[in-house]
Amino acid sequence: MAIAQWAATAPQALGVCGAPPSASTFRRVLAAVDSTAVEAALTRWVIDRQARCRQQRPAGTTAAETRCVLAVDGKTLRGSRDGHDQPTKLVSVYDHAHQLVLTQAPVAAGDELAAFSVALNTLPELGDVLITADALHCQRAHADFLAERGGTTCSP
């Protein structure tokens, strides 16, 4: 397990006191953790971090230069398997300016379209936020969803 390997080789300042836990200890602890609660806590933490970074706008920059731009994209996790021996797929929301994955949502039954709104629903209002996504998400239902969440839509 990669976490156990990292713990065993981490610099002293990052290491744990004494011998690092074994891979089986990490496995037991992580299996007992409520992953939904951990995911929610991590999402809250990273959104708070993003907000603090956005408040530190350098003097002389325009609002357009500091506009929040988020990329929504689906990814297959290499080497992963779900309960049906299929690769795990996620839709992630990434803030390029601050290099933060703000949230992610599982793609259930191969439906990346549904995961789009599930992922974005975990974020606060999307006013003044530019969302980029691939062509799969260029459809009226997603534009309506973004408009309902405070986004602005434009038409040709």
Q: How far is CA 46 from CA 3, 65, 74, 99, 127, in A?
A: 21, 21, 19, 11, 18
- As a whole number of angstroms, the distance between CA 96 and CA 121 comes to 19
- Region 53-72: mean pLDDT is 75
**Residue 109 gets which letter from DSSP?**
G
Judge whether residue 48 has pLDDT over 80: yes
pLDDT band at residue 9 under the 50/70/90 scheme: confident
- Region 46-68: mean pLDDT is 74
The percent of residues above 70 in pLDDT, for the chain, comes to 88
Structure tokens belonging to residue 105: 């949502």
pLDDT band at residue 155 under the 50/70/90 scheme: very low
Query: Helices marked H in the chain — which ranges?
Result: 2-9, 23-32, 35-55, 112-121, 140-148
Judge whether residue 83 has pLDDT over 80: no
pLDDT band at residue 47 under the 50/70/90 scheme: confident
CB 133 within 8 A of CB 113: no
Q: What's the first-to-final CA gap in the chain, in angstroms?
A: 51
Q: How far is CA 72 from CA 91, 98, 101, in A?
A: 7, 15, 10
Residue 80: the pLDDT is 82
- Region 84-94: mean pLDDT is 88
Residue of 12 and 107 predicted with greater confidence = 107
